[in-house]
Amino acid sequence: MVLKYRKLGRYGVKVSEISLGSWLTYGASYGKERTEACIRKAYDLGINYFDTADVYGMGQTHAGAAEEVLGEILPDYPRSSYVLATKTFWPVGDGPNDRGLSRKHIIEQCNASLKRLKTDYVDIFYCHRYDPDTPLDETLRAIDDLIRQGKVLYAGISEWTATQIADGVHTTRHLNLNPIAVNQPIYNMLNRYIEDEVMPLCSREGIGLAVFSPLAQGILTGKYRKGQEIPKDSRAADESAGRGVSRLLTDEVLTKVERLEAVASDLGMSLAQLSLAWILTHPEISSVIIGASRPGQIEENVKAAGKTLDQETMEAIEGILDEQ
């Protein structure tokens, strides 16, 4: 199966429909050999978009740990052959300026990320959240300066509200700054809030959508079952990483998962593949960011890029998701 590529919104750069993230995995929960095997498998399968952040690894090892791992492996490949993204916002230290989207923090963290990643530039630099304590023009001017210096190619945002995105678009136009090119929100069958305002706004403005948590942190793989113990090797069993997963493991959610799994089985695919293929039916989506702890997971998930879902299947899925 040949992996397909999509434009990042209206912009010319193309990213693989399935991309590889490093949240809660690389540089933190998993050993170096497994991590390296996953990254190399992803590249070999045609994944060209690798996503990380300065804070990934914080709390388990140290801030920047995931970037350091990518910096040990990706330089083995031609820099022009992959799209590399990182982010800043969350605290990476105890100081008052070790967080947020001030000019100081953005410039310092971008330079630190480039050093850890062992590269001269990142393709995408994301504002990892919205910072109400910093003027928007300060934030966007700082990123614009990084773009003009050649350290960043495209400006990105993550988990901003529709109003915040609209304000950002207006600010870049008013000040003649490089535009916001991509948004990274959470999106999966169990969390569809972006469909109301964020997705239509991004579509109108030509902003790409690279979505994270497409499998709802493993829930949409079918590994969690009603009335059964949480698997010991799962994310929900990891005290440091699994708090968010545990909150979602309700009978209502797990019943939907069982029914979705039946739909997937009828189509000859896994629930994970169905979940990813469902996201990719939306033309607004540029890429789906997956996490993986084993190379085999990446192989299976990449197969979703070649799946098509007919109208009957989409309606069946909608019926299950709409049930209260």
Q: What is the pLDDT of residues 247-265, one digit of tens each?
A: 788 989 999 999 999 999 9
* Among candidate residues 14, 24, 7, the one with its CA nearest the CA of residue 48: 14
Which tokens sit at 250?
A: 């309700």
**Which pLDDT band, with edges at 50, 70 and 90, does 276 fall under?**
very high
Note the pLDDT of residue 237: 45
**56 is an active site residue:** yes
Task: Count the neighbouring beta carbons within 10 Å of the beta carbon of residue 131.
Answer: 19
Q: What is the pLDDT of residues 28-80, one digit of tens each?
A: 556 788 899 999 999 999 999 999 999 998 777 888 999 999 999 999 999 99
Quick one: DSSP state of residue 49?
E
Q: Which residue has the higher pLDDT, 286 or 23?
A: 286
Kindly state the average pLDDT of the residues 132-151.
Answer: 98
Q: What is the pLDDT of residues 226-243, one digit of tens each?
A: 765 665 554 554 555 545
Residue from 43, 56, 154, 187 carrying the catalytic annotation:
56
Q: Which domains does the chain have, with CATH numbers?
A: 5-215+281-294 (3.20.20.100)
User: Model pTM?
Assistant: 0.93
> How many Å apart are CA 213 and CA 222, to the nearest integer?
15
**Which pLDDT band, with edges at 50, 70 and 90, does 246 fall under?**
low
